[in-house]
Amino acid sequence: VPMLNMKSFFYKSGVWGWGAGSNPKPATGTIVLTEAGAAHPAIATLGYAAGDEIELYAVSDEAYSNNIIQGYTASEGGFIAEDAPLATIGDGINAFHEHGTSNIYMLYPLSSDAVVAGVEFTDDATNLLMALVDYLADSKSKVRQANKPNIELDYYNGETVVKITTGIDGAVIYYTTDGTEPTTASAQWNMLDSLTVKEPITVKAYISAIGYNDSEVATAEVVVKSQWAAPELTITRNENNTVVELTTTEEGGQIYFNFAGGETVITSQLYTEAITLTEPGTLYAFVAGGDKLNSEIAGQYIGINGITEETIRLDTLSNFDSNPTDWFVTVDEVNGTGEAKAYYYWGKAAWSYYSTEVDRTEPALDENGNQLKNQAGEDSVIVYYKPDPNAVKSVVPANANGWVIKSAGQVLTLEGNLDANANVGNGEKGRYAETAMDAISGKPTNGCITFGSKLEGEPYTGTIETTEAHAGPFDVVAYVGNGNGSGKPEMEIQISADGAVWTKLGDVNIADTQRYWKKTVLAYNETAPVYVRIAHTGGGSKAQVYDIRLMVNGEVSKGYVDGVELPDATAAEVVSVQIYNLSGALLSEMGEGLNIVRIIYSDGTVEVKKVLNK
């Protein structure tokens, strides 16, 4: 309830324990308002200002000697330590303060000792007392029940660590570990401590806090778990790939693996068969399942014998990145609609690829090759129309980056606010990698170009193309997702010497699940310069293109550390490769600019080098 306390000596240790009562020296009958006091709602109504001396008693010399007005000093870290003094007495002693925002508690040193001594209150003292009583009465509200304490359980192999926490300052937590109901006679929890448990127990706890009703009792059944043994990696290095087999010596657990370093099932893929790697990366594996704790992570950098520092392609020659900065554009040939979430280039409706000009006609034949007739008995013909050059539309970024988006009738949309996670096969319709293999080098950008609808019977015409020819050899790396709930699109990586006649380099890998993405790596091993594009070719479903990268062998590639076959089993293998930026943040792949690469070998040696990624 609201309370007006007039006796600061209650603060003494052994009474409330909030601090100590203090007498002014020399004795005085006045308080001096602080700025906080002058601004206080109850005091301000009386017209006082900061620094005003307010006489509370008409005192005699005898009364002065009795120190009728009492101040206080607050214990550091105590219940009232943070309360701002509203007035002081004597030589700067705190005399007057308020605590809380509802059911307010206030100290006002109008000691009853004054009545005993026959001292008269001044008008100021009486008026201030009345104002404070009204103010406190207005603060009355229903007392809240404290929230139950939070019992946190951290599991380790063979033991569980218990922590009990609360967000209420100054609260006392009473607890038991034998399943009995806690009371004020139970043990008090020290917020800085923890409890290590090696046998199952029942923990019960509740909160008692000034200003609150006691909380309900929180209960936690504390169990002790064992941990799965880490899986073992068997590595077989072949001429152009490396095969990794994962095994566990215990029954009942399942092995998961990933290339990001996490130990949660949602970011990993269930191991069902030997893993064949054709590109290097650090593989992480762990055992999970049942009532046991996940095992420790077994991680190892996997090199590929067929890839050396002279053949690996880690440097970016050109990059198409589906991001709003580049592709939320407004130019004359783009009359699209949209905002921060999506931009519909040329609107939401498809248009015709064909003109009205006839290209050729051919006889209409049945399945046996016989001429078909129309209703008038005349030979039926099939009319083919020429493509309409005006149907071709394109989008270039505000700042040229070497890529252009084109269509001659197919709807294309930029979705710029996606989060393409490296999570694997979690069963949700999210933007996730379909397999762990797709996430070896990280995840694609947060955005995609969606290849949408076209007119029935007309071809797919959506493409993303380079604006210049690039000399090989290089790899084309594409991150592409499935935009439909059933079926999947068909896409190709194509190359062209002149930007007009295109040939297929290879098919794009497409996920079976809606919105999942896959990575495709195709090699162009010739030296002649070629244009590169990704083209939607069929499938009747939407495709979603995140990134396209042309990767070459350059300065970053020269730093590849595991590109040669190990001569024997006793040679030091690379255990882990860690990449950091100049601020010390751990990266999943090379960032632009200067990177710090830390290489750890199986013999315990560590090599650190600086790698510039242009």
pLDDT digits (tens, 9 = 90+) for 300-314: 888 888 788 888 998
- Check residues 205 and 376 and name the one with the higher pLDDT: 205
Please answer whether residues 158 and 198 qualify as being in contact, where contact means their C-beta atoms are separated by less than 8 angstroms: yes
Instruction: Look at residue 566 in the predicted model and tell me its pLDDT.
Output: 39
Residue 60 is given by DSSP the state -
Instruction: Look at residue 163 in the predicted model and tell me its pLDDT.
Output: 95
Contacts of 161 (CB under 8 A, 6+ apart): 153, 154, 194, 195, 196, 197
Instruction: Look at residue 332 in the predicted model and tell me its pLDDT.
Output: 47
Residue 98 has pLDDT above 90, yes or no: yes
Please answer whether residues 610 and 558 qualify as being in contact, where contact means their C-beta atoms are separated by less than 8 angstroms: no
Nearest to 511 by CA among 545, 473, 555: 545
Q: Give the residue-averaged pLDDT of 258-280.
A: 88
Residue 335 has pLDDT above 60, yes or no: no
**pTM exceeds 0.75:** no
Nearest to 481 by CA among 437, 426, 523, 438: 438
Nearest to 107 by CA among 216, 242, 3, 212: 3
| Residue 254: how many other CB atoms lie within 10 Å | 15
- Check residues 95 and 418 and name the one with the higher pLDDT: 95
Please answer whether residues 520 and 545 qualify as being in contact, where contact means their C-beta atoms are separated by less than 8 angstroms: no
Nearest to 535 by CA among 408, 416, 420, 424: 408
Length of the chain: 614
Instruction: Look at residue 1 in the predicted model and tell me its pLDDT.
Output: 83
Instruction: Look at residue 569 in the predicted model and tell me its pLDDT.
Output: 39
Helix (H, G, I), strand (E, B) or coil at 530: strand
Whole-angstrom Cα distance, residue 7 to residue 263?
60
Residue 571 has pLDDT above 80, yes or no: no
Residue 508 has pLDDT above 90, yes or no: yes
Contacts of 32 (CB under 8 A, 6+ apart): 51, 52, 53, 54, 87, 88, 89
Instruction: Specify the range with the lowest mean pLDDT, choosing from 187-191, 211-215, 340-344, 426-430.
Output: 426-430
Residue 201 has pLDDT above 90, yes or no: yes
3-state secondary structure 133-174: HHHHHHCCCCCCECCCCEEEEEEECCEEEEEEECCCCCCEEE
Residue 528 is given by DSSP the state S
Instruction: Look at residue 198 in the predicted model and tell me its pLDDT.
Output: 95
Whole-angstrom Cα distance, residue 135 to residue 130?
9
Whole-angstrom Cα distance, residue 23 to residue 129?
21
Residue 450 has pLDDT above 90, yes or no: yes
Whole-angstrom Cα distance, residue 519 to residue 499?
25
Whole-angstrom Cα distance, residue 179 to residue 204?
6
Whole-angstrom Cα distance, residue 90 to residue 322?
71
Beta bridge partners of 347: none
Q: Give the residue-averaged pLDDT of 212-231.
A: 95
Helix (H) or strand (E) holding 270: strand 269-270
Please answer whether residues 429 and 486 qualify as being in contact, where contact means their C-beta atoms are separated by less than 8 angstroms: no
Instruction: Specify the range with the lowest mean pLDDT, choosing from 99-103, 235-239, 589-593.
Output: 589-593
Query: First vs last Cα of the chain: how many Å apart?
Result: 68
Chain mean pLDDT for the chain:
87
Residue 559 has pLDDT above 60, yes or no: yes
Instruction: Look at residue 115 in the predicted model and tell me its pLDDT.
Output: 66
Instruction: Look at residue 469 in the predicted model and tell me its pLDDT.
Output: 97
Residue 555 has pLDDT above 60, yes or no: yes
- Check residues 430 and 351 and name the one with the higher pLDDT: 351
Instruction: Specify the range with the lowest mean pLDDT, choosing from 291-300, 458-467, 533-542, 589-598.
Output: 589-598
Contacts of 205 (CB under 8 A, 6+ apart): 149, 151, 164, 173, 174, 175, 176, 182, 189, 217, 218
Helix (H) or strand (E) holding 377: none
Nearest to 186 by CA among 204, 199, 167: 204
Residue 64 has pLDDT above 70, yes or no: no
- Confidence tier at 154 by pLDDT (50, 70, 90): very high
Residue 338 has pLDDT above 80, yes or no: no
Q: Is 321 left (phi over 0), alpha (psi -120 to 50) or beta?
A: beta
Q: Give the residue-averaged pLDDT of 45-62.
A: 85
- Check residues 533 and 300 and name the one with the higher pLDDT: 533
Instruction: Specify the range with the lowest mean pLDDT, choosing from 171-180, 283-292, 373-382, 577-586.
Output: 577-586
CA atoms within a 13 Å half-sphere pointing along the CA-CB vector of 513: 15
CA dihedral 565, 566, 569, 574 (to 10 degrees): -110
- Check residues 441 and 411 and name the one with the higher pLDDT: 411
Residue 211 has pLDDT above 60, yes or no: yes
114-129 pLDDT per residue, tens: 666 677 888 999 999 9
Residue 479 has pLDDT above 50, yes or no: yes
Tokens read off for 352:
């015709």
- Check residues 99 and 587 and name the one with the higher pLDDT: 99
